[in-house]
Structure 1
Amino acid sequence: MTSKVKNLKGLEKELSISFSLKDMDPTIESKLKELSKNLDLKGFRKGKVPMNVVKSKYYQQCYNESLSEHIEQNYIQVIIDEKLNPVAPPKISIDENKNKEKLFFKALIEVMPEVKIVNIEKIKLEKPKLKVKNIDLEKAVEKIADQYKEWNLVERKSKNGDRVKADFSGTINGEEFDNNKAEDFLIEIGSKQLIPGFEEGLIGLKAGEEKKLDITFPKDYQDSKLASKPVNFDIVVKEVLEPKVSEINEEFVKKLGIEDGKIETLHSKIKEGMEKDAITLIDSYMKKNVIKELSKSQKLEVPKTLVSEEISRIDKENNPNGDIKISEKDMEKLYMKEATERVKAGLLLREIINNEKFEITQKNISDWIDTVSRGNNNRSEIENYYMNNEDAKKNMESVILENFAVKWVIEKAEVSEKNYSFDKLMELR
């Protein structure tokens, strides 16, 4: 065997490999003999077919199988000898016309880059810190009271903030479409739950009134068949209801499960919940920020193959049902930057994990399951899922190791704290 490695653009390499066709003869003979043992041809006893007959019928099949095996074996040997780390299987091209005694083939590969982590201490990170003020607690109570508001029937024209009960049906160019109609449908004007223009179109209507409403589905509508289409709705208003927000008093506080009915006790419970939520929010924000700043601080060429795979992964995340049809070219335009950053961050985090040799303990697993099951009453089910599902367990361990690497970066980097209200902290999600 002879081989030559040629460096191409970026991380691509071309391997030119040749080997003697005679090297395949023992493999071909072995395959023919193995095949003949159970061969059942008309005119011969099973397993007793003469070798010249076996060769005449099956030589090409055994030759092709042997050729594939020898190409793979020689390719692997070159990879080992040259200490290369391919990202994906090679693209093989065979030149069968060069020589009748030798086979020449080329293997086009992309290799993993050499990763070195440097200057971590120069990374600057801002860590949010929750600062709960009385006004934050008062706002939280007001939001809770709003969730418990009552709806009272009124005989007047509807306005923003009202709830309307209505029947409606829609058509596009006179044709009906899926889920185009509903009866006794409750719509809170101003909630922005429906497509733009629909809720606004209900303002100024009284019970018993009808309206024709012409609007357009947004271009990013979840059903791609309706996106950007003009639609005509016929609407009949049945009821108009106005909200009555619950009065914040002892009775209301007790209704929320606070036995002593004191607003101070409710505030304390809300603050406790905010602080628990803040831990998860801050951890998530810091992880995203660490990955972003780590990627910015390190020079690293990323394999195009991995970026392409990540683009497909992002598209599936954003469009799980495949409702939005998008070309490969547009997909690259949309997701190239994010995919490149993700791949780069993944390579850097993996290098940190390998260098630091982090080990996962049972306590790490237990703590992680506590975190993902927070707010649920089925911790044991979640634990069983991750511990008894091999893929889920590997994913869990991968996330835990990533978190170790993120923590390692935070400990090395220059970190400053900044106070955040709970609402501002929520905006970081």
Structure 2
Amino acid sequence: MQVTLETTSNLERKMRISVPSERVETQVDAKLKQAAGQANIKGFRPGKVPMREVKRRFGDGIRQEVSSELMQSSFSEAIVKEEVSPAGSPVIEDVTMEAGKDLEFTAIFEVFPEIELGDFGEVTVEKPAAEITEDDLDAMIEKLRDQRKGYAEVDRVSKADDRVNIDFEGFIDGEAFDGGKGDAADVVIGSGSMIPGFEDGLIDRSAGEEMDLELKFPEKYQSENLAGKEALFKVKVNKIEEQELPDLNELFFKQFGVEEGGMEAFRTEVRGNMGKELEAALKSKVKEQVFDGLIAITGVEIPKALVSNAIDQMRQEAVQQFGGGQNIDPSVLPVEMFETQAQKRVKLGLIVNAIIEKLELKTDDDKVKSVIEDMASSYEDPEQVVNYYYGNEQQLNQVQNMVLEEQVVDSVLEKAKVSEVEMPYEEAIKPNEPAAEDPAAEGPADKEPVAEAADGEADAPVGDEGEDSA
């Protein structure tokens, strides 16, 4: 086998490979003989089909199959021989595939870049520090009560925070529009699940009351055919319900696994969970600053193939997260939505791998075990969860990679400029805002008209009720 390698740019390589015809014909003949023994052709006894007939019927297809297999195997041999590491699958061009001639083809591919790491001392990190106060604990308990609130029907006019059950239908220029009708839809006043003005129009209403709401869709609206248009909504209020928060009693505590010990044990349990959340949030903020710092001090030319692969992966993730179980083709999501974040993801991956190689970091098995046991501790049967992770190679690899990333972060922090910044608990656990210029941070627009997604309430109106819904 002959191989020539040409460097066409910093990362692109062009490889010409020639496979001797003897090797090709040997494999073609072997497959032809195999086909002759298996062929079932009218007019011939099984296994007695003449070779000329087998070649006539199957020769071209078999040669195509053999050539494809040889191109894959010879490319693998060639990159080992030339000591190159492709960053993606090659593009195959200029294929010569004729009987009696050498199999020749050109493979064009990108290689992984050589990375020169910057000075970790130039990385600046503001390490957040926060404590959980009694006020923070009280606020969390109220939040937990709110998450488990119920609703009870009342005989009065509606007010903010009430849940109203309504029938409605929207019209533009006197014509009903798709997705503009809902029957027996629950709307929480003040939830922001409806277009501006809709929920305000439900205040001070009585059960059985009918009304017309003259509203205007926002200029920037996910459904372009509705954006900026004036609409009339005919609404009927079916019933009004007010919030009912659960009492802090034994029944409530049991929902969080606290079987005994009353309020004191419940507060201890909640504080413990808040502590875990706080620890994870603080680590995440530090990790993000370290990674941003590494990107800033390290110049990396990234292979287009890796970015393309990352975009495909992020498309899949977006469909899983926002697709609502629908069968959506990820390729319909525009590349521009993910390109910036994909480039950052690839660049960071290359830098982290370079650090692991340079510092010869190995996964800390004790730390992996500690992480798995910590995650398992919140389950009813921790041992079963631990066994699941160690019995599932993919899940175990994810934890190992996470621990290895933490080891990279720790290595950088040893040399970085680190200062401590005090902050309240609520600010500490709040995720950092995504960069405004990052289209991927916005996510795909998949919400229904009018209803902008209300958590378990009216996802609603213009959307999911009956045959008239969009």
Give the TM interval when normalised to the shorter protein: 0.7 to 0.9
Match in the other structure for 1:358: 362
- The code of the aligned residue for 1:201 comes to G
Cα separation, partners in 2 of 1:331 and 1:67, compared to 1, 3 Å: same
CA contact (8 A) 2:25 2:100 kept: no
Specify which of 379, 395, 401 is matched with residue 404 of structure 2.
Answer: 401
Cα separation, 2, equivalents of 1:152 and 1:79 = 70
Cα separation, partners in 2 of 1:383 and 1:176, compared to 1, 3 Å: farther
CA contact (8 A) 1:125 1:413 kept: yes
Match in the other structure for 1:181: 182
- Count the aligned residue pairs: 419
Question: CA deviation digits over 1:41-77, x for unaligned, max 9?
Answer: 5555543444444444443334333333343343333
CA contact (8 A) 2:171 2:233 kept: no
CA contact (8 A) 2:67 2:103 kept: no
Match in the other structure for 2:449: none
Query: Match of 1:85, SS?
Result: coil
Q: CA deviation at 1:226?
A: 8.9
Cα separation, 2, equivalents of 1:313 and 1:75 = 26
Cα separation, 2, equivalents of 1:2 and 1:406 = 45
Cα separation, partners in 2 of 1:82 and 1:150, compared to 1, 3 Å: closer
Q: More displaced, 74-83 or 100-109?
A: 100-109
Match in the other structure for 1:170: 169
Query: Match of 1:167, SS?
Result: strand
Question: CA deviation digits over 1:317-366, x for unaligned, max 9?
Answer: 334328798997973322211111111111222233344241342x4344
Identical amino acids, percent of aligned pairs: 27
Match in the other structure for 1:113: 113
Q: CA deviation at 1:418?
A: 1.0
Query: Match of 1:359, SS?
Result: coil
Q: CA deviation at 1:369?
A: 2.7
Query: Match of 1:169, SS?
Result: strand
Match in the other structure for 1:122: 122
- The code of the aligned residue for 2:406 comes to N
Specify which of 320, 338, 348 is matched with residue 335 of structure 1.
Answer: 338
Cα separation, partners in 2 of 1:107 and 1:220, compared to 1, 3 Å: farther
Which structure has the larger Rg over C-alpha atoms? 1
| TM-score normalized with structure 1 length | 0.78
Cα separation, 1, equivalents of 2:208 and 2:83 = 80
2:423 paired with 1:420: yes
Cα separation, 1, equivalents of 2:98 and 2:198 = 71
- The code of the aligned residue for 2:363 comes to E
Cα separation, 2, equivalents of 1:40 and 1:241 = 75
Query: Match of 2:236, SS?
Result: strand
Specify which of 386, 390, 401 is matched with residue 389 of structure 2.
Answer: 386
RMSD: 4.2
Q: More displaced, 366-375 or 300-309?
A: 366-375
CA contact (8 A) 1:198 1:215 kept: no
5 Å-filtered alignment, 1:226-305, equals 228=227, 232-238=232-238, 271-305=271-305
Gaps of 5+ in 1: none
Query: Match of 1:14, SS?
Result: strand
Cα separation, partners in 2 of 1:204 and 1:49, compared to 1, 3 Å: closer
Cα separation, 2, equivalents of 1:157 and 1:404 = 59
Query: Match of 1:314, SS?
Result: helix
Q: CA deviation at 1:163?
A: 1.0
CA contact (8 A) 2:170 2:180 kept: no
Cα separation, partners in 2 of 1:19 and 1:252, compared to 1, 3 Å: closer
Cα separation, partners in 2 of 1:241 and 1:49, compared to 1, 3 Å: closer
5 Å-filtered alignment, 1:4-403, equals 4-42=4-42, 44-96=44-96, 101-133=101-133, 135-137=135-137, 139-140=139-140, 143=143, 158-159=158-159, 161-171=160-170, 174-175=175-176, 180-183=181-184, 186-213=186-213, 214-216=215-217, 228=227, 232-238=232-238, 271-320=271-320, 321=323, 331-355=334-358, 356-361=360-365, 363-373=366-376, 375-377=378-380, 379-380=382-383, 382-403=385-406
| TM-score normalized with structure 2 length | 0.72
Cα separation, partners in 2 of 1:372 and 1:109, compared to 1, 3 Å: same
Query: Match of 1:377, SS?
Result: coil
CA contact (8 A) 1:207 1:239 kept: yes
Gaps of 5+ in 2: 433-470
Q: CA deviation at 1:284?
A: 2.4
Cα separation, partners in 2 of 1:313 and 1:201, compared to 1, 3 Å: farther
